[in-house]
Structure 1
């Protein structure tokens, strides 16, 4: 249902990485290590409607 509603809008999608303290356990370290940033990070994604549009 959401997919059908959002096809009418232009969406802007961006992703980012936020540094975190290195986890203690090795398995957790592998999960959060970013080779691109050479750091441990949490990844996030942001999706917004383009400017001037509002969905109510």
Structure 2
């Protein structure tokens, strides 16, 4: 399997090995998107709520 690296517009390909390496890479990638993305990872994602008017 070929690994891709150095792209900022898509996450690195995960191959299931070397967890510590990939964890740091994914953390850096998510933080590079914006701060709200990383906060959603830490806090958890909430489903949008529809309000009837």
- Kindly indicate whether structure 1 or structure 2 has the higher relative contact order, using CA contacts under 8 Å at least 6 residues apart: 1
Q: TM-score, normalised to structure 2's length?
A: 0.27
Q: Give the number of the structure whose residues are more often strand, by fraction.
A: 1
Q: TM-score, normalised to structure 1's length?
A: 0.26
Q: Give the number of the structure whose residues are more often helix, by fraction.
A: 2
Decide which structure has the larger Cα Rg and report it.
Answer: 1
